[in-house]
């Protein structure tokens, strides 16, 4: 009997979950769209094969040429283009993806996705994909706190199984301060790595000690080390990505702990 071919994801190195993965970044039309360029760069640096789709409003904030230069691939922008849709391009793009990241996911785009709309480049690809979808919301604080936005997010999470990263708190472009800020690109990449990692450590509790920890012998002397903490933090992050519940004991260190 012939064995069914294993997916690319099953062959991927668990220590480098983005290496060789095809990641589609779907860019929505918000002022944070410019940060998607940094996100694409970091994904490419992590070894992912990055493709980009943009809404028409996203193109008002940043041009497709920027993403084409970063990915070295054409950018999908128009559902009605004969050139892009000659071979049903949005379905091919959806089928190639191992992960779809919607960043920034505006209130309007979230509402469209929650309603099952598929009448533009981004919504059609996202609706057609069978890959996991990661939303990175970005909007005004009042829009984020609106009960309809909460309902739409909940629907996408509960019904469609979407994952959400962010938003963060901070000073927004609209001069409001509060939740609604796009998660930092590095945090989105970490969330993407988590989504693509095997959850073989789920239910496992792991304690990691890292950094220059000290144990007193008496009031004067102690046993310690000069560790930077980098290795321990990396181990904690890798275990967390694979589903473990991690407790990190971190001594004084310049290395930030995993989120």
For the annotated catalytic residues, the residue numbers are 174
- The Cβ-side half-sphere exposure at 132, using a 13 Å CA radius, reads 14
If 0-12 CB within 10 Å is exposed, 13-18 middle and 19+ buried, where does residue 214 land? exposed
If 0-12 CB within 10 Å is exposed, 13-18 middle and 19+ buried, where does residue 36 land? buried
Distance CA 97, CA 133 (A): 10
Tokens of 161: 């199984």
CB 35 within 8 A of CB 60: no
Tokens of 249: 């004991």
């Amino acid at each position: 009997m012939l064995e069914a071919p294993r997916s690319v994801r099953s062959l991927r190195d668990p220590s480098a979950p983005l290496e060789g993965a095809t990641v589609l970044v779907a860019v929505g039309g918000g002022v944070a769209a410019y940060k998607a360029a940094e996100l694409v760069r970091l994904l490419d640096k992590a070894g992912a094969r990055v493709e980009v789709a943009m809404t028409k409003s996203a193109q008002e904030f940043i041009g497709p040429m920027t993403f084409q230069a970063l990915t070295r691939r054409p950018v999908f922008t128009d559902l009605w283009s004969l050139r892009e849709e000659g071979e049903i391009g949005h379905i091919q793009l959806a089928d190639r993806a191992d992960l779809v990241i919607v960043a920034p996911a505006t209130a309007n785009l979230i509402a469209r996705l929650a309603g099952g709309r598929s009448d533009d480049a981004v919504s059609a690809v996202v609706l057609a994909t069978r890959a996991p979808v990661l939303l990175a919301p970005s909007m005004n604080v009042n829009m984020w706190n609106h009960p309809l936005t909460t309902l739409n997010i909940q629907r996408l999470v509960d019904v469609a199984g979407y994952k959400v990263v962010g938003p963060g708190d901070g000073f927004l472009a609209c001069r409001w301060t509060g939740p609604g800020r796009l998660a930092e690109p590095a945090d989105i990449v970490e969330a993407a790595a988590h989504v693509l990692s095997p959850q073989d450590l789920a239910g496992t509790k792991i304690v990691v000690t890292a950094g220059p920890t000290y144990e007193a012998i008496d009031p004067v002397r102690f046993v310690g080390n000069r560790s930077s903490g980098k290795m321990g933090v990396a181990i904690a992050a890798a275990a967390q990505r694979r589903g473990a519940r991690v407790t990190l004991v971190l001594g004084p260190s310049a290395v930030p702990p995993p989120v």
